[in-house]
Copies of this chain bind each other. A is one copy, B any other.
Amino acid sequence: MQELYDLFLKTGLRPFAFMSDTLHLEQNVTRSDLSTLLILLFRGDLPMSELAAEMGAPLSSMTSIAKRLERKGYIARAASVQDQRVKLVTLTQEGRQLAKQCEQIIMAMLSRLEAAFTPEEMEQFTTLLFKAARVFQDGGAITLKETKSRPMKIKIEE
């Protein structure tokens, strides 16, 4: 148990640090930027608010990130026809390409896992990890009377 606490501590600043160290493909891209592109690649076009939720970031931060990415030509934003308020975010060709490069690197890391684990271990690991993630998510409000609904770090829908 103490070991887990220890491991927990090691999740310090700079999530994805290892990735952008590896990924000096395009120098001028933030970790958040990459993260955003990956989400769009995986989930398809999304409104700003859903994107922010996926990122675990406040909407105002998402605005900044989206502005950067738009300026750099990796995404495009267009108002939805049904609802003029929602801005649909879409990957451009360059954006999609960069995201795919990044995806490959992640996939390479994951396949390292597959190489290191037996299929049973892999199965176990995935199952337990999801179970744990669910506990952490639902357990967020332990000592709190009323949690303000807010973007959380890890969200698992069933």
- Please give the residue numbers on chain A whose beta carbons come within 8 Å of chain B beta carbons, in ascending order: 1, 3-18, 21-22, 32, 35, 38-39, 42, 54-57, 61, 103, 105-110, 112-114, 116-117, 121-122, 124-126, 128-133, 135-137, 139-144, 147-148, 150-156
Contacts and interface: CB of A to CB of B under 8 A. Distances in A.
Nearest to A43: B9
Instruction: Quickly give the copy total for this chain.
Output: 2
A12 B106 CA distance: 14
A122 to B, nearest CB: 8
Main secondary structure of the interface of A (DSSP, over half): helix
A153 B54 contact: no
B10 A54 contact: yes
B105 A153 contact: no
